[in-house]
Amino acid sequence: MASISARKDSDGNVIGYRAQIRRRGHPPQVRTFRQKSEAMIWSRSIEADMDKGMFVDFSEAERTTLNELLDRYRSDVTPTKRGAAAELSKIAVILRHPIVRRPLAVLTGADLAQYRDDRLREVAPATVNRELTVLSHAFSVAMQEWRIVLPRGNPVLAMRRPRAPEGRSRRLGAGEEERIGVAASEYERTSKAIRMASIIALALATGMRRGEIASMRWDFVDLSGRTIHLPETKNGTARSVPLSKVAVEILRGVVQRIDGWVWGVDIDPHSITRAFDRICVRAAIKDLRFHDLRHEAVSRLFEKTDLSEMEIARITGHKTLAMLSRYTHLRAGHLADRLDGKRRGG
């Protein structure tokens, strides 16, 4: 039988009612209400569910706010990920939103939709989608590993994700590669920074991702066998990248460091991006990002070689041909030549 007791202030005035249920085989249930009738209705409902064997304990979700969940998640889960630093920054952004003050038990898809709309006023849809992915995983971990039962399940799954814009199709224009190379060499001489000319050339020769290039070690470079082994990649699958003669010559021109890193232990993907952006300014090239070099490299593999789609996917690390297609933007002239039966590169 439920126990209902009045809660009083310091003057003896009743300010609410505390309902408590203790039933063998079930965790204690306690909730406070403004009206005694509300406490009685809740108590009868909970006891009826217990009698039918249908009771589900939501007390942990009622006690835990989204703020507390994300705090535990970034302490226990985020450090185990390769992209921990990036995820920490996303969590820091989410924690500044008022939604984090709400208990998990009352969060709905509508609440997450409001978060989505608020963020879309500030950032691009792709950024919002990445933040929602972090939230969704945090809810999944809470339910699957921490035994926090959410009354409505994962609320991110109950709302519409923002539609991401079409993928970029930026290719290098006439003379842009040469201008970038000149500007990169000048940048190295004036700033004594990282070997951006070699990094840019290698990106175009291999299609490697920015992070993969930044983390290169000589231990995994085999110039005689013409391969680079990547033990850690963005999609979590190790792969070996074949090196063209051009790529081998690029790496032969890089002085091998004592610490074993190809570009230096202090280099990180973001430093490559910042340097590349400055180089593009020097070269008077607009709307070009470092990742566009990967688009260019992959498209060139299709245009200038007889490699199959599966072989190119093995080189670039794309797990599906659908993912690979997002990075290939073939020039219409090359497609027209192939309609006439000309070989790639011919």
Domain spans, the chain: 3-55, 63-158, 176-339
- Say whether 90 is catalytic: no
- Say whether 327 is catalytic: yes
Residue 247 DSSP one-character state: H
- Say whether 187 is catalytic: no
**Catalytic: which of 234, 304, 319, 331?**
234
**Catalytic: which of 209, 210, 295, 300?**
209
> From first to last of its 346 residues, what are the pLDDT tens digits of the chain?
677 888 888 888 888 888 877 877 677 777 788 888 888 887 787 777 777 766 667 677 888 899 999 999 999 999 988 778 889 999 999 999 999 999 998 889 999 999 999 999 998 888 999 999 999 999 999 988 988 888 888 999 999 998 876 667 788 889 999 999 999 988 888 776 678 999 999 999 998 988 889 888 899 999 999 999 988 777 667 888 889 899 999 999 887 877 888 887 668 888 899 999 999 999 999 999 999 999 899 888 888 787 888 888 888 887 777 777 766 666 666 656 666 665 555 5
Nearest to residue 208, comparing CAs of 218, 199, 217, 196? 199
Enumerate the β-bridge partners of residue 3.
20
Tokens at 66, concatenated = 């989204």
CATH architecture, domain defined by 63-158? Orthogonal Bundle (1.10)
**Catalytic: which of 74, 90, 195, 294?**
294
- Say whether 73 is catalytic: no
Enumerate the β-bridge partners of residue 232.
none
What's this model's pTM, rounded to 2 decimal places? 0.61
- Residue 52: phi, psi to the nearest 5? -85, -5
- Say whether 97 is catalytic: no
Tokens at 346, concatenated = 């011919």
- Say whether 74 is catalytic: no
pLDDT value for 131: 94
Domain spanning 176-339, CATH class: mainly alpha
Count, residues in the chain = 346
**Catalytic: which of 229, 291, 334, 338?**
291
The CA-based angle 173-164-203, given to 5 degrees, is 35
Nearest to residue 269, comparing CAs of 92, 74, 82, 94? 82
Dihedral angle of Cα 106, 108, 110, 113, to the nearest 10 degrees: 110
Residues 237, 301: Cα–Cα separation, whole Å: 21
